[in-house]
Copies of this chain bind each other. A is one copy, B any other.
Amino acid sequence: MVDGIRRGRMDADEARRRVLDAAERLFYARGIQAVGMDEVRDAAGVSLKRLYQCYASKDALVGAYLEHRDLRWNAALADHVGRVADPRERVLAVFEFLSEWFRTADFRGCAFINAFGELGPASPPVAAAARGHKGALRARLRALAAEAGAADPDLLADQLLLLTEGAIVAAAMGTADRPAERARSAAKALLDAATMSDQPLSARRPG
**Interface positions of A (Cβ within 8 A of B):** 29-31, 33-34, 108-109, 113-114, 116-122, 127, 130-131, 134-135, 137-138, 154-155, 158-159, 161-167, 169-170, 172-177, 179, 182-183, 185-186, 189-190, 192-193, 200-202, 204-206
Contacts A/B (CB < 8 Å), 25 sampled: A31-B118, A31-B121, A33-B33, A34-B122, A108-B121, A113-B117, A113-B173, A114-B118, A116-B173, A117-B118, A130-B173, A137-B175, A159-B185, A162-B163, A162-B170, A162-B176, A162-B186, A164-B166, A165-B165, A165-B166, A166-B167, A166-B169, A200-B201, A204-B206, A206-B206
Q: Which 6 A-B pairs have the closest CB atoms?
A: A166-B166, A162-B166, A117-B117, A134-B175, A165-B166, A114-B117
CB neighbours of A205 from chain B (8 A): 206
Is chain A's interface secondary structure helix, strand, loop, or mixed overall?
helix
Contact of A30 among B122, B137, B172 (CB under 8 A): B122
The complex places the Cα of A175 from the Cα of B177 at a distance, in Å, of: 25
